[in-house]
Amino acid sequence: VTSLGAASHLAHVTRLDLRSSYIKWPDLAKLAECAPFERLASFALRKSSSSGLEREVMKAWFASPMMSHLEEVDFSGWARFNASAAKLMLSTLPLRELRVMRLGGTSIGKTQLGALFETNDLGALEILDVSAQEFNTKASRSLAMASHLESLRELSLAGCRVDWAQFDSFDGKTHI
């Protein structure tokens, strides 16, 4: 990882896909610290389910300068990407330029799903995949009332447990 950090010819890499890569948490931490890529536009990560989630490493990644202009993030299918990780992402990762967010098949939970919909920094978001998530009334209401998501063009709710009747109770005060 140290030699990768010193590889100046990789500075212009804009897409980094580490889904199902065999990379250990300490190596991810070193990579975040040396930040060999000047400006990532796209980042994907799905660790094996047995490796858990290292909060401090994820925090270092989200706060890394190479993530400051991210346009796409993909954690889809990573069952260990849970409510704690989602909360950390929403509070640490720069979200204003994000156009694509894929969280399908993660375990972010109902509370963080609602918090995601309420995050005003997601105004540029065009594609949102929250498939296989379970909605509660608050998450449904947050989605229905999220007028800041006006750029959204694709919303994946595949496999979601949504009580569609919940949307009827909002008295037409929705933007969707």
Dist. CA 58–CA 29, nearest whole Å? 8
**pLDDT-derived band of residue 98, with 50, 70 and 90 as boundaries?**
very high
Over residues 74-95, the pLDDT tens digits come to 999 998 899 999 999 999 999 9
What pLDDT score was predicted for residue 174?
Answer: 52
Average of per-residue pLDDT across 40-65: 85
Better-predicted residue by pLDDT, 86 or 174: 86
Residue 168 has a pLDDT of 65
For residue 101, name the pLDDT band (cuts at 50, 70, 90): very high
Rounded CA-CA distance 62/24 in Å is 17
Angstrom distance (rounded) from CA 105 to CA 78: 6
The Cα–Cα gap between 54 and 108 comes to 15
Burial of 156 (0-12, 13-18, 19+ CB in 10 A): middle
Tell me what pLDDT residue 133 has: 94
Residue 109's pLDDT band, with cuts at 50, 70 and 90, is very high
Cα–Cα distance list, 109 to 41, 63, 84, 153, 162 (Å): 26, 23, 9, 23, 13
